Structure 1
Amino acid sequence: MVGEAEQKKRRRSTNYPLAFKRQLAQQACDESVSVAQLALQHGLNTNMLFRWRRQLRAGLLDTTAQFLPVALAAEPKALPGVGAGGAGSIEIQLGQAKVCIRGAPDPATLALVLQGLRP
Structure 2
Amino acid sequence: MKSGNRKGRPNYPVEFKRRLAAAACEAGVSVSKLSMANGVNANMVFKWRREYRAGLFDDMPAARTTLLPVVLADTSLKVAPAPAAATSSAVEIIFANAVVRVHADVDAALLRTIFQSLRA
- Report if TM-score (shorter chain) is over 0.5: no
TM superposition score normalised by structure 1: 0.43
Whose helix proportion is higher, 1 or 2?
1
Query: How high is the TM-score relative to the length of structure 2?
Result: 0.43
Structure with larger Rg: 1
